[in-house]
Amino acid sequence: MFKDSTHSQVLYRTASLLALVTIGYNIFEGVISVLIGATDETLSLFGFGLDSFVEVVSGIGIWHMMRRLQQGEEDRRDEFERRALQITGGSFYVLSVGLLVTAGLSFWEGHQPKTTFWGIIIALVSIFSMWFLIRQKNRVGKELNSAAILADAACTRACLLLSVALLFASIGYELTGIGRMDSLGALFIAWLSWKEGREAFGKARGVACKCSCSCG
C-alpha cells in the first residue's frame, strides 16, 4: 500500500512537471513565432504564436488542477480553474476575430510574406513536442486512472493539429509562391481558435471536453 501511494505521488509530480513544461514551451514558442512572424510578415506564424500565449493561461489552470489532485482533492474544477478557462475562452474569441479580419484582408489583397521557411521549422518542432507530451500524459493518466490527465492528453492533439495547419500553409507557400496560402493557413488557425474558445467556456460550465487545447 505504501509503495503504491509513493508511486502515485511520483506520477502526480510527473503530471505537474508535464504541465509546467507545456507552459514553458508555449511561452518560448509564442515569443519566437510572434517575433519571426512579424519580421517575415507571415500571418499564419504570427497567429500561431498568439495562440500559444493564450494556451499558457489554460496551462496554468491545468497545472493548478494537477497540484490539487496530487494533494488528494476531488477531480473537479475549482473557482481558479473555471476563471482560467473563461479568460482562455475570451482570449481565443478575440484572437479568432482578429485573425479572421486580418487574414481576410490579406487574402483579398494577395499579400505575400517574405518567407515561410521558419514557419516550417517551428511547426516541425511543435509537432514533435506535442507528440512527446501526448505520449507522456497518456502514460501517466493510464497509470493513475485519471480522467483529468487523460482528457488533457487527448486535448493536446488539437494543439498538434494547429502545428500541422501551420506546416501545410508554410510548405504550400514555399512550393508555390502563392501568398494566399499563408492567409488560408491563418484563417484555419482562426477557426480552430474559435472552437477552442467555445469549448473553454463549455468546460467552465461543466460541459464535456471535445478535445481542444484549452481542455483540462
Residue-wise pLDDT for 32-90, tens only, equals 999 999 999 999 999 999 988 988 888 888 888 888 877 766 656 667 677 777 878 88
| Predicted TM-score of the model (pTM) | 0.83
* Confidence category of residue 144, pLDDT binned at 50, 70, 90: confident
Query: What pLDDT is attached to residue 171?
Result: 95
Query: What pLDDT is attached to residue 37?
Result: 94
Furthest CA-CA distance within the chain: 66
Residue 42, classed as helix, strand or coil, is coil
Q: 199 or 133: whose pLDDT is higher?
A: 133
Query: What pLDDT is attached to residue 73?
Result: 66
Among 27-36, 73-82, 101-110, the range scoring the smallest mean pLDDT is 73-82
Q: 140 or 154: whose pLDDT is higher?
A: 140
Query: What pLDDT is attached to residue 175?
Result: 92
A 10 A CB-CB count for 127 gives 18
* CB proximity list for 89: less than 8 A, separation 6 or greater: 196, 197, 198, 199, 200, 201, 204, 214
Q: Which residue type occupies 89?
A: G
Q: What is the DSSP letter of 175?
A: H
Q: Are 200 and 113 in contact (CB under 8 A)?
A: no
Instruction: Kindly state the cell numbers that stand for 179.
Output: 501568398
* Confidence category of residue 200, pLDDT binned at 50, 70, 90: confident
Query: What pLDDT is attached to residue 118?
Result: 96
- With a pLDDT cut of 70, the percent of the chain lying above it is 88
Q: Are 214 and 199 in contact (CB under 8 A)?
A: yes
Instruction: Kindly state the cell numbers that stand for 200.
Output: 473553454
Tell me the residue length of the chain.
Answer: 216
